Amino acid sequence: MENQKFSNIELVIQRFVQGQASVEDEKLLYSWIKENPENRKRLFQEKDIWESAKLGTKQLNDLELDQWLSLQDRIASRKLRFSGVTEIMKIAAIVIISLGVGWIGRYLYSQHPFIKKTVEMKTVEATKGQLKEVFLADGTHVWINSDSELSFPSRFDANNRRVELAGEAYFEVKANEEKPFYVKTKSHTVKVVGTRFNVCEYPENHTIETTLEEGKVKIITGNIVHDLLPGEQSSFNTETSKVRIGEADLEIFTTWKEGRYEFRNEPLGKIFQIVERWWDVEIDYPEELKNERISGVLRRYKPLEQHFELIKQLLPIHYEINSDEVRITVQ
């Protein structure tokens, strides 16, 4: 069954490296990558080769065309000499299409070393109401939370890997002792060797929270460096520049990537901020409710009304939802 599931993976890879992958293609790739770490490495090698081949001069493009036409001629001549090859030709066509990117790319790349790779900065934005997943050039897997933005190069240089984050993201970084990974936010930097961690910096909160699930990271603020251990969280106050490090409940700070946010004794103002990002709404509520603390779970794929009904059971409120606006009053 699994072999059948990935039977057309070559075609899916081709569409991915050419920027033509569908949502279904991406889901299949995620599943294929998780099955074997080597699959992830191969996928991004293919993409790197394709990007390099696209940078060829006219001479290289002409060479690619000549190779393709020559191959077509050879196939056509064989078709004339042999009978009953309809199914073989179908298979050959699939092989040619699926392996074309890798074969042509590798041929051009090996025969013409003057091809130079250029580095492009790319930005992926998850607007309000969205969660996005991204694979970086080194195979690092990133989940981007709503109202957040991640900027990264199309490939990393020889010395380090650097990305910039505004908002919140969860990272699974491929380990590389000789090539550390850096996450740059507005106020500080997280240095990583290989690990799973979450970084949250929404400007309205005036704090940057880095939560380490596995591995090791260093929090760099100016000349001050703090080490984090698994299960710990650093909280940097952007107004006072003070850093606090303590134990963290990972279920609270990392499960948002699965569409679930657990909160325990959290102020209602903070919960409303999350609701505004996840459902792309604006909430108008009395100031007196801002510091009321409650516990519960937000589920992104549940109706918005359901969550306010639960809050209504905990606090004496009345709410009205009109399109993208929620108005709350105290009863």
Q: Are residues 270 and 246 in the same domain?
A: no
pLDDT tens digits along 4-37 = 677 778 888 877 777 777 878 877 877 887 777 6
Last residue of a domain, one of 61, 86, 111: 111
The yes-or-no verdict on residue 110 having pLDDT over 70 is no
pLDDT tens digits along 263-275 = 888 899 999 999 9
Give φ, ψ of 177 to 5 degrees.
Answer: -60, -35
Helix (H, G, I), strand (E, B) or coil at 216: coil
Q: With the C-alpha atoms ordered 45, 50, 56, 60, is the resulting torsion angle positive or negative?
A: positive
pLDDT tens digits along 69-96 = 554 555 455 544 444 444 444 444 444 3
Q: Which residue has the higher pLDDT, 140 or 107?
A: 140
Q: Which domain holds residue 187?
A: 121-253
Last residue of a domain, one of 253, 281, 302: 253
Angstrom CA distances, 284 to 3, 33, 235, 269, 297, stand at 53, 43, 28, 11, 21
In a domain, 324, yes or no: yes
> Which tokens hold the place of 1?
């069954």
- Looking at residue 82, its pLDDT comes to 44
Helix (H, G, I), strand (E, B) or coil at 147: coil
pLDDT tens digits along 113-160 = 444 557 788 999 999 988 999 999 888 999 999 999 999 998 887 778
Q: Which residue has the higher pLDDT, 12 or 234?
A: 234
CATH of the domain at 299: 3.55.50.30
pLDDT-based confidence at residue 55 (cuts at 50, 70, 90): very low
Q: Are residues 63 and 134 in the same domain?
A: no
Mean of the pLDDT values across residues 304-314? 89
In a domain, 116, yes or no: no
- Looking at residue 69, its pLDDT comes to 52
Q: pTM for the full model?
A: 0.64
Last residue of a domain, one of 76, 111, 146: 111
Helix (H, G, I), strand (E, B) or coil at 137: coil
In a domain, 156, yes or no: yes
Q: How many domains is the chain partitioned into structurally?
A: 3
pLDDT tens digits along 165-223 = 999 999 999 888 888 999 999 888 999 988 899 999 988 888 889 999 999 899 888 77
Diameter over CA atoms, the chain: 87
CB within 8 Å of 318: residues ≥ 6 apart = 312, 328, 329, 330, 331
Q: Are residues 150 and 94 in the same domain?
A: no
- C-alpha R_g of the chain: 25
